[in-house]
Structure formats: C-alpha cells, structure tokens
Amino acid sequence: MAIDAATIAVDAADKAATTDSANKGSAVLGKMHFLARDPKYAHEKPYTLRYTPAPESGIPQTNIARVEHAIVFHDWRGRNDLQYEECGFGLAKLDEALPYDDFADSSQIEGVHAPRVLQAVRSALGAASAELVDYVVRRRHAAWPVSTGEPYAFQQPASRAHIDHTYAGAVAVIKEAHGDAAEEVLSRRWQLVNAWHPLKGPLVDWPLAVCDARTVDFARDTMAGDVVDRHQVFENTQVHFGDKQKWYYLQHQMPDEVVFFKNADSREPESATPGVPHAAFDNPLTTDEDFRRESIEMRILVVW
C-alpha cells in the first residue's frame, strides 16, 4: 500500500496505540530489520562471522534470519518527556565540532575529538569518569544497501536492530581493557554507552534510530548473539520486533549533536532498561540532493 506522505503527525500515527498527550511533533513511517522469531534459535545461538569461512568447512557466514517491519520513527527533538534514566538515551551538545576533513585523521579523532565527546557524555551523566573503549567511522557507499560483491572501504550503517553488548559481553570488554584492575572497575557503578553523531549535517540519509527501553520486553524481545572474528568472539544482543516498542530519531541531526545511549548496565539484571535497541533506517524523506550518511560512534565506559 502506498504512503501518501512520508511525514505524518505523531498523534495520527499512534491513534490506535496511545492517547498519550505527550506525543508531539512529526514522525516518519519507515522500515527496520529485526531478528526473526525462528524456532532454530531455541537451540542455536545467532551468530555472524566477520570473515569468509573456508568453503570446505560447511559453515555459513551467518545463521541470522532477518524480518522487516514497518515502524513509526518519532522525532524526539525538543521533547522533555524522554529522560536518560528512564528511556536509556539522551542528547549532548559539543562546544566545538571537529572539522569534517579531520575525521580522516585518526590522531585528530583520538587526540582532539574523543576528549570533547567524553567530556560531554561524562557531564551529561554526572559520572566520575568516561573512557573511550573504541570507535567506528561509517561512510555509506553509494551502492549500499545493495552489495557490490567487494569489501567496502568503510563500515556501512547497521540496519538491523541490536544492542552492542550483553551484560556478560560488557564485562568481558572491561576485563580486556583493564586487566588486573578490572575487578575494581566492576565493583563500581558502570555503564557501557554509545555516543553517535553524523560527520556532516543536517543528516537526512539513513539516520540512527533508538528504541525507548521502557517499551521493550527484554525477556521476550531480545537474545544473546555472537560476532566472531578469527581470534575473538564478541557477544551482543539481538532484537526481535515487538508491537509495543517505540522508536525515535533526531531529525536533521548536526555534527555537534551527540546522541548517547546505554548498551550495558552494572545493575543488570535488576535494571528494567539494561540497554537500548538501535539501528539505522532508510529515511523516506531522503532526496537526491541529500548527502550520503557519514557518522562516527564511540563506545564509552562510564563509571560513577
């Protein structure tokens, strides 16, 4: 069925689902991929190999079955009813953004930009410290999401709903980063947080969407998965679609606007919001005049 207009009123889009008067502004109707509710996952853990297995191994590169769902993506710019402590995501402003060309220089990213992002996130969360774990620069290829058959020069947008870590996966990251000092860190209040922003703005093409963690049934809608390198395994959280999930994005996000969101929490399993499902989506408002999405995300260990 054709969509008459890409932009729709939030109240109209949610009329059948909610009468919450806090739903204001605009939204777009788009699509997102989720982990299918396949019976095989009752005895088979979802996985993806970051390398091509030998043909004689008989091992598929992934066993992940995806399913696409229509989603209303609400613009959360200017809203005051979405607080980090409840929904799991927030917005911080940088005092100064790194010039676009400097994102090609890792020394500028690590020596100049990262400290600014860390300070913004630490201040926004009132934390004692914020430490960079790693970062990824993504530059969307003109052909993506259609495969070219060749490796991309940069990582592409992550278009399937997921959470970067499980609790166990986060503990493993902290132990690897801190070695013998890890137990002291793990004994404190900590979170692994992702900080994300575009390199150019205002961003229209393939923006990041985040899900209000309060609307996720974590027992039913999530399960652990593995991302496998040749010498290491990273455990993340795969996400099924749930009809109560509520998704948001920051319309026309600028490079100095950092969306930060929780990926793991030391209070799990007591926390009702252990992490925030997220993914990029193909924005129906994108035109030929809009530049292709380029972004940076930083995984950060925040300690109180």
Residue 85 sits in a domain of what CATH number? 2.60.120
Q: Does 172 fall in a domain? A: yes
Structure confidence at residue 268 (pLDDT)? 80
Structure confidence at residue 16 (pLDDT)? 37
Task: Quote the domain boundaries for residue 209.
Answer: 33-303
Tokens encoding 30: 């788009």
Between CA 258 and CA 113 the distance in angstroms is 12
Q: Does 298 fall in a domain? A: yes
Structure confidence at residue 152 (pLDDT)? 80
Structure confidence at residue 287 (pLDDT)? 94
Q: Does 17 fall in a domain? A: no
Between CA 102 and CA 137 the distance in angstroms is 12
Between CA 234 and CA 99 the distance in angstroms is 32
Q: Does 6 fall in a domain? A: no
The domain total for the chain is 1
Q: What burial class does residue 108 get, using C-beta atoms within 10 Å of its C-beta: 0-12 exposed, 13-18 middle, 19+ buried?
A: middle
Q: Does 103 fall in a domain? A: yes
Q: Does 4 fall in a domain? A: no
Structure confidence at residue 244 (pLDDT)? 97
Q: Does 13 fall in a domain? A: no
Q: Does 261 fall in a domain? A: yes
Structure confidence at residue 271 (pLDDT)? 77
Structure confidence at residue 145 (pLDDT)? 86
Structure confidence at residue 54 (pLDDT)? 87
At 116, which amino acid appears? R
Total-model pTM: 0.89
- Under DSSP, the state recorded for 39 is G
Q: Would you give the end-to-end CA distance of the chain in angstroms?
A: 50
Averages of pLDDT over runs of 10 residues in the chain (304 residues) are 41 39 66 97 94 88 95 94 95 95 97 98 97 96 81 87 95 95 96 98 97 96 94 93 97 97 89 91 95 97 97
Do 41 and 248 form a contact (C-beta atoms < 8 A)?
no
Tokens encoding 268: 């799990």
Q: What burial class does residue 44 get, using C-beta atoms within 10 Å of its C-beta: 0-12 exposed, 13-18 middle, 19+ buried?
A: exposed
Q: Single out the residue of 41, 98, 99 nearest to residue 224, CA to CA.
A: 41
